[in-house]
């Protein structure tokens, strides 16, 4: 599979959004795209997340910038780390570092190669790309070591699976709704100009975080409509205006 697997769009000076169609290979997940972001400074560039490991991500990045590349994984779920092995410099939060060292198959979709991290990402750390910096926010909830990255030059927050305009998976064993709520509150209360999520249409207004918070509270109180989710028999899908939340069936009041 060559670099044509990915589509790319320049979204600002030195910043590109890359997308691959997870809906093509795993339609039961109710997610259409995986979003990755390439951010270039004067001296080096960072690829935020590494996708499913199907296409040649490194070649796609090299076609956009000749700079040395750092792979920054927001979290360790397979659709965000699959191409990490293609980069020599690989970083992730320490709570999920061990998972990058695992190799496994995602049945019918892809093979994830082991790619142990070469460094970790810590809350408040500043990644200097040369004239441009990314600030690490620890934003757990979707997973324990989930991080978001704030582009200090633009106020853009690359928030991966904490918040996006699609079906958000919050019913898995990794998920912690209390931590997710805190992360959403942090994002909603911050001075951010745009949200760049890990899936679906991007960017989104920071207002989305406030709306997701309200939807979560409504669902947990048992005041939302929900429906079965074919991709996970233990989950219920709670649809709202512009997004949905998957929750365990026993997570809501009156369950």
Query: Model confidence over 49-62: pLDDT tens digits?
Result: 999 999 999 999 99
Q: What CATH number is attached to the domain comprising 147? A: 3.60.15.10
Per-residue tokens: 128? 């200097």
Q: State percent of the chain over pLDDT 70.
A: 98
Q: Kindly state the helix (H) or strand (E) to which residue 78 belongs, with its residue range.
A: helix 78-81
Q: Kindly state the helix (H) or strand (E) to which residue 62 belongs, with its residue range.
A: helix 57-64
Establish if 235 belongs to a structural domain: no
Sheet of strand 167-169, all strands in order from the earlier edge strand to the far edge: 167-169, 243-248, 235-240, 227-228
Question: 2: pLDDT confidence band, cut at 50, 70 and 90?
Answer: very low
Establish if 51 belongs to a structural domain: yes
Give the model confidence (pLDDT) of 100-116 as tens digits: 999 999 999 999 999 99
**Residue 142 sits in which domain range?**
3-166+184-206
Question: 27: pLDDT confidence band, cut at 50, 70 and 90?
Answer: very high
pTM above 0.85, yes or no: yes
Buried b (16+ CB within 10 A) or exposed e, 218-239: bbbeeebebeebebbeebbbbe
Say what the pLDDT of residue 1 is. 43
Establish if 252 belongs to a structural domain: no
170 in Cβ contact with 245 (< 8 Å): yes
| pLDDT of 213 strictly over 60 | yes
Mean pLDDT of 218-233: 94
Q: Tell me how far apart the alpha carbons of residues 235 and 28 are, in angstroms, rounded to a whole number.
A: 13
Mean pLDDT of the chain: 96
Q: State percent of the chain over pLDDT 90.
A: 94
Establish if 238 belongs to a structural domain: no
Q: Return the number of other C-beta atoms located less than 10 Å from residue 116's C-beta.
A: 14
200 in Cβ contact with 165 (< 8 Å): yes
What is the count of structural domains for the chain? 1
| pLDDT of 148 strictly over 50 | yes
Mean pLDDT of 229-252: 94
Give the model confidence (pLDDT) of 159-202 as tens digits: 999 999 999 999 999 999 999 999 999 999 999 999 999 999 99
Establish if 21 belongs to a structural domain: yes
Say what the pLDDT of residue 4 is. 81
Establish if 220 belongs to a structural domain: no
SS3 97: helix
Establish if 22 belongs to a structural domain: yes
Per-residue DSSP letter, 42: S
Mean pLDDT of 37-54: 98
Give the model confidence (pLDDT) of 68-100 as tens digits: 999 999 999 999 999 999 999 999 999 999 999
Establish if 231 belongs to a structural domain: no
The number of CA neighbours under 13 Å toward the Cβ of 214 is 10
């Amino acid at each position: 599979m060559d670099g044509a697997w990915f589509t790319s769009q320049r979204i600002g000076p030195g910043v590109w959004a890359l997308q691959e169609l997870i809906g093509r290979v795993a339609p039961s997940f109710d997610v259409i795209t995986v979003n990755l972001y390439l951010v270039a400074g004067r001296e080096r560039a960072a690829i935020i997340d590494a996708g499913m490991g199907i296409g040649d991500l490194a070649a796609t990045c090299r076609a956009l910038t000749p700079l040395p590349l750092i792979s920054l994984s927001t979290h360790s779920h397979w659709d965000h780390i699959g191409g990490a092995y293609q980069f020599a410099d690989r970083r992730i939060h320490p709570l999920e570092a061990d998972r990058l060292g695992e190799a496994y198959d995602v049945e019918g979709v892809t093979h994830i190669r082991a790619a142990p991290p070469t460094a970790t990402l810590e809350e408040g750390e500043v990644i200097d790309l040369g004239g441009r910096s990314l600030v690490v926010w620890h934003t757990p909830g979707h997973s324990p070591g989930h991080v978001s990255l704030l582009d200090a030059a633009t106020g853009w927050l690359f928030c991966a699976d904490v918040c996006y305009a699609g079906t958000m998976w919050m019913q898995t064993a990794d998920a912690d709704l209390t931590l997710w709520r805190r992360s959403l509150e942090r994002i909603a209360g911050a001075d951010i100009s745009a949200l760049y999520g890990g899936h679906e249409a991007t960017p989104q207004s920071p207002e989305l975080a406030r709306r997701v918070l309200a939807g979560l509270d409504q669902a947990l109180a048992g005041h939302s409509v929900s429906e079965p989710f074919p991709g996970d028999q233990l989950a219920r899908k709670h649809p709202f205006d512009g997004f949905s939340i998957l929750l365990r069936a026993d997570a809501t009041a009156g369950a």
